[in-house]
Amino acid sequence: GQGISVLTGETGVGKTLVGLRLAFELQPTFATAFLSHAAFPTRRALLQAILFELNRPYNRMAEQELRLELMAALKTLIPQHQALVVVLDEVRMLTMLTSNGMPMTRVVLIGNRDLEERLADPELSAFNQRICCHVDLEALTQADSIEYLRMCVDIAGAHPDDLFAPEAFPFIAKAADGDPRCLNHLADHSLLLA
């Protein structure tokens, strides 16, 4: 319930999917805003994006008006939700908004591993002090990759052994090197070619 959470990992390991799933799982308890990128040129643009996700007014407002609108939105959300969780796929001001000493927002920042290097910048020390959880999403193991492929085929309504030769899953898993996106593409193309 305190601070900022950070999720990092190599490209293609499923960070965005984990972020979307997190936002979905938190919805009964928290209001959520999933922002699919962090390329906001100004604080004003970030505030507008959050307000848009909350279905609140955001056009033709100065930055201070946007902050006040966000505060008003949070005050109306808090009776039904514990807080607002902002999942930002790839922000210090948001974590400073409190009510009765409790933060009204939670931030989950998602990015590639170079995000760790950017966060290490001394200019971001105040931001870093607010990070309470940092998880690095690693590539799947060979066994996890095979289990993942079998599960995907099973969920699609087929039996894995009916579609793939016994050596296919280990071969695809080795070629994808634990990258779920690669696993999906290789398995899909294998089925299309077959």
pLDDT for res 172: 95
SS3 of 62-125: CHHHHHHHHHHHHHHHCCCCCCEEEEEECCHHHHCCEECCEECEEEEEEECCHHHHHHCCHHHH
pLDDT for res 174: 95
pLDDT for res 90: 65
CB 79 within 8 A of CB 14: no
Q: Which residues contact 146 (CB under 8 A, 6 or more apart)?
A: 169, 170, 173
Q: How many of the other CB atoms lie within 10 Å of CB of 39?
A: 8
What pLDDT digit, counting tens, does each position of 80-135 carry? 888 888 888 764 445 555 666 666 667 778 788 888 888 888 887 877 777 888 88
Question: What span, in angstroms and rounded, lies between the C-alpha atoms of 142 and 146?
Answer: 6
Partnered with residue 173 across adjacent β-strands are: none
pLDDT for res 157: 93
Per-residue pLDDT of the chain (194 residues; tens, 9 = 90+): 666 788 888 888 888 888 889 889 988 898 888 887 777 888 899 899 989 988 999 999 999 999 999 999 988 888 888 888 888 876 444 555 566 666 666 777 878 888 888 888 888 787 777 788 888 889 999 999 999 999 999 999 999 999 899 899 999 999 999 999 999 999 999 989 88
Torsion of CA 73, 125, 26, 185, to 10 degrees: 120
Q: Which of 173, 183, 181, 179 is CA-nearest to residue 138? A: 179
